[in-house]
Amino acid sequence: MELQAQHRLAQTQQDRDREVERLRDLQRKSILEMKKDHKDQVQRLKRLKDEEIDAVTSATSQTRSLTVVIEQMEHFSHRLGDPLSRVESTHENTAQGLEQGARDAGPSGPAAEGHGRGENKA
């Protein structure tokens, strides 16, 4: 009887040792998987950070480019204002000169000539 009890005790001890080893193996695998997941998450976060930095850098670059274009447009607009005012001034002076010439010419102007031609045909 004592031999059977010792045998059962040895069997139970072996079963317990195998179970402890199985649990340790599961724990090691679990720890390795958690480490891998952690490493993957860190890499993902680094990639997202790099993408965000790239996006901000790109947006800043585009903003600078747009600012340069706007400044150039304002500069060209100011430069176009001078010739435009000169053209408007010349046009106004020409119109005034034509009006003055028409007043000075009196009835011998274009209206009087057209009337005279009408008389010749009759």
List pLDDT tens digits, range 16-71: 999 999 999 999 999 999 999 999 999 999 999 999 999 999 999 999 999 999 99
Residue 109 near residue 102, CB atoms below 8 Å: yes
User: Which region, left, alpha or beta, applies to residue 106 given φ > 0 means left and ψ of -120 to 50 means alpha?
Assistant: left
pTM over the 0.85 mark:
no
Q: Tell me which long-range contacts 89-95 makes (C-beta under 8 A, separation of at least 24).
A: none
Query: Secondary structure of the chain in the HEC alphabet?
Result: CHHHHHHHHHHHHHHHHHHHHHHHHHHHHHHHHHHHHHHHHHHHHHHHHHHHHHHHHHHHHHHHHHHHHHHHHHHHHHHHHHHHHHHHHHHHHHHHHHHHHHHHHHHHCHHHHHHHHHHHHC
CA dist list (Å): 1 to 9, 10, 15, 74, 112 = 12, 14, 21, 108, 153
pLDDT tens digits, residue range 103-114? 777 665 455 445
pLDDT for res 77: 81
Model confidence pLDDT, tens digit, residues 71-86 = 999 888 877 777 767 7
Residue 122 confidence (pLDDT)? 43
